[in-house]
């Protein structure tokens, strides 16, 4: 049985393995022992805080665990509010019109402007499922359970939530978009810049990134073609988020030009359709597959399960109840998967 739970210090080796397997372009999982251990400690602190009234510096990091073997098969995270203590950068796709009525010339040109427009919003991030477990609905569960968590602990998150999608790069980590920036403004390759960002060293962005809008038509053709495009491995994740209500509003990553999508938390399909129900342990009849979680913070648990309903009660098997650490009469939150 696969259960999602808060990360613990004992999960370090598994988190490191995920960081290695995730490869280039996965900024939020740098292959750095000190940074990964710091992130685990930060998550443990976030889950332990009981007096949160509004989103702050909390970072909630979860693992998906196979309860039969104890193996961690994936990770997933939510940042409560980004950019509060260090700048959170994007390029915004805009438009500038060059118009001369006298000469009958009209040109509408796309521009890229460096901005911090998403400061203070929540972020879905660090979604990685190990290769052998990319089957069935595992990826969907590892992504969508975060929406149940946000619905249950609404005060801990902003009204708007974003997700940065991995942009186009080759097997060696080379990004066509970064190649253009590197040639004209930087003297470091994409993996190096990506790694520095992952470990929190972002001052070089403010120091070296062009300060004025960039005309897109001045970029190399290969760089233009990947603006707002996602890495092939990221297409399923993007499709899933769009089905929840996320939309692209013209913001892209400053390194690989991957799209950032956004949504209002209250409008997300899983959030709107989730509901609290009372647990009854038994044998579900006419079972329906749902995403389900308990209502506790530090001992949070989530999974997919086949359940049935009886009024305001949800009928769970003993195995599912044990996995969620609930018993008869406890509340759970669920949504159709």
The DSSP element (H or E) to which 181 belongs, if any, is helix 176-184
The CA distance from 330 to 312, in Å, is 12
For residue 244, give the nearest of 217, 210, 277, 271 by alpha carbon. Answer: 271
Residue-wise pLDDT for 183-222, tens only, equals 888 777 777 776 676 666 666 776 777 878 999 999 999 9
* Residue ranges per structural domain of the chain: 2-90+115-269, 274-336
The CA distance from 225 to 270, in Å, is 33
Q: Token match 């960002």: residue?
A: 197
Q: What CATH number was assigned to the domain covering residues 274-336?
A: 2.40.40.20
DSSP 107: E
Share of residues in the chain with pLDDT > 90 (%): 71
DSSP 228: T
Q: Is the pLDDT of residue 42 over 90?
A: yes
Q: Token match 């796709």: residue?
A: 93
This prediction's pTM: 0.91
Both tokens of residue 129?
Answer: 């499922």
Both tokens of residue 125?
Answer: 């991030």
The CA distance from 205 to 139, in Å, is 33
**Can you give the pLDDT at residue 189?**
74
Both tokens of residue 58?
Answer: 């909390």
* Residue 19 dihedral angles phi and psi, to the nearest 5°: -60, -45
Residue-wise pLDDT for 263-306, tens only, equals 999 999 999 999 999 999 999 888 899 999 999 999 999 999 99
Q: Any idea of the CA torsion for 249, 255, 257, 260, to the nearest 10 degrees?
A: -30
For residue 72, give the nearest of 136, 125, 8, 149 by alpha carbon. Answer: 8
Q: Mark whether 24 is an active-site residue.
A: no
- The answer for residues whose C-beta is within 8 angstroms of residue 19's C-beta and 6 or more apart is 26, 29, 30, 31, 32, 36
Task: State the chain's mean pLDDT as an integer.
Answer: 91
Q: What is the 3-state secondary structure (H, E, C) of 118-155?
A: CCCCEEEEEEEECHHHCCCCHHHHHHHHHHHHHHHCHH
Both tokens of residue 134?
Answer: 């990319």
Q: What CATH number was assigned to the domain covering residues 2-90+115-269?
A: 3.40.630.30
Q: Which of 92, 98, 99, 231 is labelled catalytic?
A: 231
Burial of 261 (0-12, 13-18, 19+ CB in 10 A): buried
Q: Any idea of the CA torsion for 302, 289, 316, 278, to the nearest 10 degrees?
A: 70
Q: Token match 């009204």: residue?
A: 159
For residue 113, give the nearest of 216, 259, 223, 249 by alpha carbon. Answer: 216
**Can you give the pLDDT at residue 182?**
84
**Can you give the pLDDT at residue 267?**
97
């Amino acid at each position: 049985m696969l259960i999602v739970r808060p990360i613990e210090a004992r999960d370090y080796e598994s988190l490191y393995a995920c960081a290695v397997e995730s490869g280039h372009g996965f900024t939020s999982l740098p292959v750095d022992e000190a940074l990964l251990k710091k992130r685990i400690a930060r998550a443990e602190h976030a889950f332990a805080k009981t007096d949160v009234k509004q989103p702050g510096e909390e970072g909630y990091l979860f693992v998906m665990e196979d309860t039969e073997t104890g193996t961690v098969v994936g990770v997933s995270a939510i940042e409560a509010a980004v950019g509060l203590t260090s700048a959170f950068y994007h390029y915004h796709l805009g438009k500038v019109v060059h118009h001369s009525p006298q000469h009958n010339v009209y040109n509408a040109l796309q521009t890229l402007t460096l901005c911090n427009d998403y400061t203070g919003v929540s972020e879905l991030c660090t979604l990685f499922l190990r290769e052998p477990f990319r089957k069935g609905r595992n990826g969907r569960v590892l992504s969508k359970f975060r929406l149940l968590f946000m619905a249950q602990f609404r005060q801990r998150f902003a009204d708007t939530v974003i997700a940065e999608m991995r942009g186009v790069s080759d097997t060696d980590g080379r990004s066509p978009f970064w190649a253009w920036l590197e040639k004209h403004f930087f003297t470091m390759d994409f993996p190096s810049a990506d790694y520095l960002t992952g470990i929190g060293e972002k001052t070089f962005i403010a120091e070296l990134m062009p300060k004025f809008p960039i005309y897109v038509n001045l970029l190399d053709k290969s760089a233009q073609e990947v603006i707002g495009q996602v890495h092939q491995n990221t297409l399923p994740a993007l499709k899933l988020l769009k089905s929840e209500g996320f939309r692209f509003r013209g913001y892209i990553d400053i390194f690989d030009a991957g799209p950032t999508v956004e949504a209002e938390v209250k409008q997300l399909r899983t959030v709107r359709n989730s509901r609290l129900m009372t647990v009854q342990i038994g044998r579900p009849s006419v079972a329906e597959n749902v995403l389900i979680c308990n209502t506790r913070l530090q001992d949070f648990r989530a999974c997919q399960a086949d359940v049935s309903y009886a009024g305001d009660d949800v009928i769970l098997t003993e195995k599912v109840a044990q996995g969620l650490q609930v018993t008869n009469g406890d509340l759970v939150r669920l949504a159709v998967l």
